Amino acid sequence: MTRRPLRYAVPRARVALTSAVALVALGGCSSDPNSIAEQAKQGDQKGYIAGNGAIEQIPVSQRLEPVTLAGETLDGRRWSSESERGKQVVVVNMWASWCGPCIKEIPDLQQVWTDVRADGKPVQFMGINFREGPDRGAALAEEQKMTYPSLTDEAGTLILAFGRQAPTTTPSTLVLDREGRVAARANGVVSQTTLQGLIDDVLAS
């Protein structure tokens, strides 16, 4: 059965978000030959698919199995989402220096990261630097003053950890609940207000 995405209003009523009708159904990602997940499997370095800005929230009762995302960060550290399980909400953002919309949203992501840390919220950010070498990704991170870490993903295969829930566009942002399950996602550029609202709702769920 196709999940019916919820319409979402950010707390404090500052933006109205679109329905996630345009998102690929969770069960259909693997069958779409144009999806990023399929491109990752093929390893043919095709171009990216632009997101449409749709937002999806997934009720607790409908969340799938926990995701285990693991790899090496741009500064050479090993990280796994399992280390956060039971403790923190994890915000995963897929980005690349060759993706203009990704660069556009970095300041908003950085501001939310700064705010959640200042507020002491149990939230970890982790980027996925998609389909480029770590030196290039690290250079952009430094240029954009990104202080949250990112996994290097030159092969473009880390998103396969999400299975049927793999991102289908670049950029994409997914919010994992404390159990490691996908609880919300943004298909395309996400604003500061929208992301903060998604995080707060997942923390409260």
Task: Report domain extents, the chain.
Answer: 29-204
Q: Which residues, 6 or more positions from 109, have their beta carbon under 8 angstroms from its beta carbon?
A: 93, 125, 146, 148, 173, 190, 192, 195
pLDDT at 117 over 50: yes
Name which CATH class applies to 29-204: alpha beta
pLDDT at residue 46 in the model: 41
**Radius of gyration, alpha carbons of the chain:** 15
Q: What is the mean pLDDT of the chain?
A: 81
The residue assigned the tokens 């609880």 is 183
Q: 150 or 6, which is more confident? A: 150
